[in-house]
Amino acid sequence: MDRAKLEILADSAKYDVSCSSSGSSRRNVGGLGNACSAGICHSFTQDGRCISLLKILMTNDCVYDCEYCVNRRSNDVKRAIATPDEICTLTVEFYKRNYIEGLFLSSAVYKNPDYTMELLLETVIKLRKLYGFHGYIHLKGIPGADQALIMRAGEYVDRMSFNIELPSEKSLRLLAPQKTKKNILTPISMIYGEKDADKSKKSRFLPAGQTTQMIIGASPESDGHVLRLTEGLYNKYQLKRVYYSSYVPVIKSNILPSVPTGLLREHRLYQADWLIRFYGFKVDELVSPNENLSTEYDPKCAWALKHPELFPLDVNTAPLEMLIRIPGIGVKSAHKIISARRYGRLTLEDFLTMKIPLKRAIHFITFTGKYFGYKTDKAITTALKAIETNGSYQQLTLFSSPEVLSSVLRGEL
Amino acid sequence: MIFIIDGSADGLFTALFNSYLLKQFPTAVSCGDVQLSIDDECVDVLTNKDKADRVFKKLQKILPNSEIERIFIALKHGDPAKFTIVFEYLKLIVDENKNLSQKYSDKRVLRFDNLVHQVLIEAHRFKGFIRFSKAPNGIYYAKYEPDNDITSLILPHFKERYKNMPFILHDIKHDVLAGHASGKTKIVCKKIKALEIEDEFSSLFKAYYNASFIKERKNEKLMRGFMPKRYHKNLPEKDELI
Ligand code: SF4
């Protein structure tokens, strides 16, 4: 593939947020590569996102006209199309040099959904069979393509995603008129059905499951709405991840906002999503249906402030599931506390030695009855707000670094 | 009093043995190449295999294998202060005759734990940051300069990944070379000049790297947090000349 083509096809794919290649263990049986369940970042872009996969479009030449997309038919951009062999060669050569963990292949709708899906299918079959590639492949499915093509592709790739795109059917109709809720949800539910039917570890069908993504801030839905949709998707289809992508205006439009949605909103949604998946929180505890998450406090902090009856908690007696509900205390710190408690009662000094973050937590805990936080609610909330404005929140601190960290913690090395 | 050891694990174990024997415990343990101040009293420790083995056996009785392994990982750290930290930790373990590896409220345990953690984090990072160039003879060659001596920790990963691919990992900071061909690997410590290999794909990757950047969200500080500047010189995507 030449440089100019690569630039067009990579440039068009970059807004896709799914950077993670984790969740799949594929052993190398003689060919080239394996998929590492911990997820490896090979580089970081100048905006701080992890480069793990070669994220590229088969083509950016689209017959659809989604309002928010640079590649929409009515937009005047340079178009390019790659051949399956070009994609395969580039993937393999990049992989051999350890530039990437695998391929994230996606495409605009070229000619029609079936035609595009066939091109994608041909590419992944070639990559596995002809090029002997055993690395990670994430394929973005084309909504509305023939079901048999979609299911067949699932046998060759690690993960597939059909993007929800927008958090409601109404917004979808307005902003992505050729896409329908049915065309997106049918393959998601079909894939779920197939995976559910064959739960054996050896199943070669999408070992890393499916994910989805939606754009936040291009349409009016609240965080409460978005998170309920998310929770539903996790429960109903066992999705591995739901990704949020803050809206960035990349193209002129009369019906879209002209300013980008701040990263703070995306950040708060990921925090809430994280609490739902790993901390045992229910959406109802975090935000009501028509409400947005607090901008002032992180969702756990906001929750704790609403529950004065539960705090302060004593760090020497609280069970694990309550320790992780203390603002500022993560799963890792909670486990440290539980381990260290076995050797004796913990004091404030012990927490300092153990480097347990206390900035937030101090106002919500006692050490065998001793409380060191501020005395009045007002002083506490002022202090907590100050942390938020000083603390530099970053989009990726959430879903990139913990994965790196946790893999080390799991003793994966 | 400072114990001077030869920098090997056996040297450190011997130092521990001697200090119990002499009932004298050093304020620091260091390897020959560290600057010492005039008034430090130095005691040279001659590495003795038998003594080292006895210490090692004792540790094996107290600690599970996974914890023994972590001692060797800690010793791969690039900071010369590691000898003192590991020494203090081992002394605590021997004194208490208990596996205290999770007693994080003890500073000695925590410092040791940090050493291990930093080495493992860097090893994990380098599973990503290693860059191979294809030499004309078909061998893939990577040079890199990590803070810690991590080559033996990352070699199994690359061996598994590139089963049929001959490659050489070259840590030009610690002068460690690891080679792989048809499933066999070998590590040697040797000072060899780094190779410069032109690889056409490095410029394609740089093009890809630049195209992936969302300009509206430029955040170099965040990038450097994940990928510190000192690593950049061996990354083609960060090479201004490509
Ligand atoms: S289908 Fe819509 S979102 Fe996808 S490339 Fe075409 S216009 Fe863009």
Interface predicted TM-score of the whole assembly (ipTM), two decimals: 0.91
Provide the domain limits for residue B52: 2-122
Q: What is the DSSP string of A20-76?
A: ---S--B---SSB--B-TT----EE-TTS-EE-EEEEESB---S---TT-TT-TTS-
Q: What is the pLDDT of residue A247?
A: 86
A310 by Cβ neighbours in 10 Å (0-12 / 13-18 / 19+) ranks as middle
Candidate of A15, A55, A66, A112 to mutate for ligand 1, largest count of ligand atoms within 8 Å of Cβ: A66
Q: What are the DSSP E strand ranges found in A80-234?
A: 102-106, 136-140, 159-161, 210-216
Q: Whose CA is nearest to atom 7 of ligand 1?
A: A72
* Cβ of residue A80 closer than 8 Å to a chain B Cβ: no
Q: Whose CA is nearest to atom 4 of ligand 1?
A: A108
For chain B, what is the domain count?
A: 3
Ligand 1 binding pocket (C-beta < 6 A) is: A 62, 64, 66, 69, 71-72, 108-109, 176
**B49/B66 same-domain check:** yes
- Residue B161 has phi, psi (to 5 degrees) of -75, -45
**B55/B145 same-domain check:** no
Q: What is the pLDDT of residue A12?
A: 79
**Residue A123 clears pLDDT 80, i.e. is over it:** yes
**B69/B29 same-domain check:** yes
Phi-psi region of A21 (alpha: psi -120 to 50; beta: other; left: phi over 0): alpha
Task: Enter the tokens of residue A319.
Answer: 């069970």
* Listed residue (A20, A8, A227) closest to A136, CA to CA: A20
Task: Enter the tokens of residue B135.
Answer: 């030499």
Cβ under 8 Å to B: A residues 174-203: none
Candidate of A14, A65, A71 to mutate for ligand 1, largest count of ligand atoms within 8 Å of Cβ: A71
**B213/B179 same-domain check:** no
Reported confidence tier of residue B132, pLDDT bands at 50, 70, 90: very high
Task: Report CB contact under 8 Å: B131, A97.
Answer: yes
In a domain, residue B194? The reply is no
Q: Which residues of A touch B65 (CB under 8 A)?
A: none
Cα separations (Å) of A85 from A144, A364, B16?
25, 58, 61
**B37/B88 same-domain check:** yes
Rounded Cα distance, A353 and A188, in Å: 48
Reported confidence tier of residue B83, pLDDT bands at 50, 70, 90: very high
Candidate of A14, A17, A62, A215 to mutate for ligand 1, largest count of ligand atoms within 8 Å of Cβ: A62
Asked whether A230 and A243 are in contact (CB, 8 A), the reply is no
**B47/B99 same-domain check:** yes
Instruction: Quickly tell me which residue has 């059905």 as its tokens.
Output: A193
The number of the ligand 1 atom at minimal distance from the alpha carbon of A69 is: 8
Mutate to test the interface with B, among A47, A90, A258 (most CBs of B within 10 A): A47
**B53/B108 same-domain check:** yes
Task: Report CB contact under 8 Å: B163, A263.
Answer: no
Distance, CA A26 to ligand 1 centroid (Å)? Answer: 31
Reported confidence tier of residue A17, pLDDT bands at 50, 70, 90: very low
Q: Where are the domains of chain A?
A: 3-286, 299-409
**B141/B223 same-domain check:** no
Number of continuous H segments (helices) and E segments (strands) in chain A: 16, 11
Q: Which residues of A touch B204 (CB under 8 A)?
A: 1, 3, 6, 90, 94
List the single range of A150-154, A288-292, A323-327, A398-402 with lowest mean pLDDT. Answer: A398-402
Q: How far is CA A210 from the centre of its chain?
A: 11
Q: Is the link from the previous residue into A312 a cis peptide, with omega within 30 of 0?
A: yes
Q: How far does A49 lie from chain B, in Å, by closest CA?
A: 7
| Fold of the A3-286 domain | TIM Barrel (3.20.20)
Q: Which among B123, B164, B212 is the nearest to A10, CB-wise?
A: B212
**B102/B158 same-domain check:** no
* Residue B87 identity: F
In a domain, residue B172? The reply is yes
**B172/B72 same-domain check:** no
Q: Which among B161, B218, B223 is the nearest to A28, CB-wise?
A: B161
Average confidence (pLDDT) over A131-149: 95
Average confidence (pLDDT) over A97-118: 95
End-to-end C-alpha distance for chain B, whole angstroms = 52
**Residue B145 clears pLDDT 80, i.e. is over it:** yes
Maximum alpha-carbon separation in chain B: 65
* Tens digits of residue pLDDT in B7-49: 999 999 999 999 999 999 999 999 876 666 666 788 899 999 9
Q: What is the pLDDT of residue A390?
A: 54
Reported confidence tier of residue A402, pLDDT bands at 50, 70, 90: very low
In a domain, residue B195? The reply is no
* Cβ of residue A97 closer than 8 Å to a chain B Cβ: yes
Mutate to test the interface with B, among A408, A409, A410 (most CBs of B within 10 A): A408
Task: Enter the tokens of residue B179.
Answer: 């080679």
Under DSSP, the state recorded for A97 is: T
- Residue A394 has phi, psi (to 5 degrees) of -135, 140
Q: Outline where chain B has alpha helix (H).
A: 9-22, 49-62, 65-74, 82-96, 107-129, 151-161, 200-211, 220-226
* Cβ of residue A376 closer than 8 Å to a chain B Cβ: no
Asked whether A214 and A245 are in contact (CB, 8 A), the reply is yes
Task: Report CB contact under 8 Å: B161, A34.
Answer: yes
Is B102 in a helix, a strand, or coil? coil
Cβ neighbours for B7, distance < 8 A, ≥ 6 positions apart? B31, B32, B83
Task: Enter the tokens of residue A331.
Answer: 């799963």
**Residue A125 clears pLDDT 50, i.e. is over it:** yes
Task: Enter the tokens of residue B125.
Answer: 């990072």
The number of the ligand 1 atom at minimal distance from the alpha carbon of A107 is: 5
* Tens digits of residue pLDDT in A321-341: 999 999 999 998 999 999 999
**Residue B159 clears pLDDT 60, i.e. is over it:** yes
Angle between helices B82-96 and B65-74 (to 10 degrees): 150
In a domain, residue B224? The reply is yes
Q: What is the pLDDT of residue A113?
A: 96
**B30/B70 same-domain check:** yes
Rounded Cα distance, B109 and B121, in Å: 18
Average confidence (pLDDT) over A150-160: 96
The pTM for the full model equals 0.86
- Residue B181 has phi, psi (to 5 degrees) of -150, 135
Cβ under 8 Å to B: A residues 315-334: none
**B34/B140 same-domain check:** no
